[in-house]
Amino acid sequence: MAITEVIFPKLKPDQALLKQLAATLPTAAKTTFSGVPGLSSYYRGKVIEAQNVSQAAKLDHSGLVLVLEWDKISSFNSFWVSEGFADFRSVMKPFMLSPVSPDLFYSNLPDSGSTTTSNYTQYIKVENLGSEDKSVENSWRNLTREIGLDAKSFHAWGVQESDGAFMGMLGWSSLETLKSKNKKESVMKALHQLTKHGDVTAFVLELSRQS
């Protein structure tokens, strides 16, 4: 049962600190995430757009996103309480507004397919489902049908602190294709249909796989 972890760190809006973070993070992350048992891939990137679909409003964000793919939940749990991650938290603490709260999702697929390795990744989350409402899966499939072959797709269910949530990812070759497709009335309608299941947020991400 593969796990996808998505993190949007809440950073202090101080330009000097953000500049320092840009210099500090790559080395600290490489030290922390290299050779971790069960961690199959790690991506770091930026948030291009963030939207609260349910409220038709822009969503505040700090611009940074991390995506990690694990082989199973026990691997994540072991890492979360490890000394290595404790050291990383200490390094990051001066830059953070609040502690990190990761979104965790499980799937029977081994990873998120080509969605995270695409040039642009659209991340859509449905929260407060109350339970694993399978009807949200039908609405997601309807959205991917409307999009067609222009994007790769993947979806997963929330686990642990993210229980009661659903997420889908779409992998796009270009920002232009993403934007033009998302402006189609049928796609907009299919995306909005997800709001009948819970609170929906959508992000456009530019991810880079880290070695």
Q: Which of 48-62, 78-92, 119-133, 143-157 has the lowest mean pLDDT?
A: 119-133
Beta bridge partners of 123: 169, 203
Q: What is the structure's pLDDT at 159? A: 94
* Structural tokens at position 206: 């530019």
Structure tokens at 180: 């033009």
Tokens of 149: 């072959």
Topology adopted by domain 2-209: Alpha-Beta Plaits (3.30.70)
Mean pLDDT to the nearest integer, 170-179: 96
Q: What is the pLDDT of residue 130?
A: 60
Mean pLDDT of 102-123: 92
61-110: pLDDT as tens digits: 999 999 999 999 999 999 999 999 999 999 999 999 999 889 999 998 87
The pLDDT-based confidence of 45 (bands split at 50, 70, 90) is very high
**Lowest mean per-residue pLDDT among 38-42, 109-113, 181-185:** 109-113
| Dihedral angle sign, alpha carbons of residues 190, 192, 197, 201 | positive
Whether 53 has a pLDDT exceeding 90, the answer reads: yes
Query: Given pLDDT bands bounded at 50, 70 and 90, which one contains residue 1?
Result: confident
| pLDDT at 143 > cutoff 60 | yes
Q: How confident is the model at residue 132 (pLDDT cuts 50, 70, 90)?
A: low
pLDDT of residue 102: 94
Cβ-in-10-Å burial (0-12, 13-18, 19+) of 168 comes to buried
Domain residue extents for the chain: 2-209
Q: What is the pLDDT of residue 182?
A: 95
Judged by DSSP in three states, 113 sits in coil
pLDDT digits (tens, 9 = 90+) for 11-42: 999 999 999 999 999 999 999 999 999 999 99
With cut-offs at 50, 70 and 90, classify the pLDDT of residue 173.
very high
- pLDDT at position 109: 84
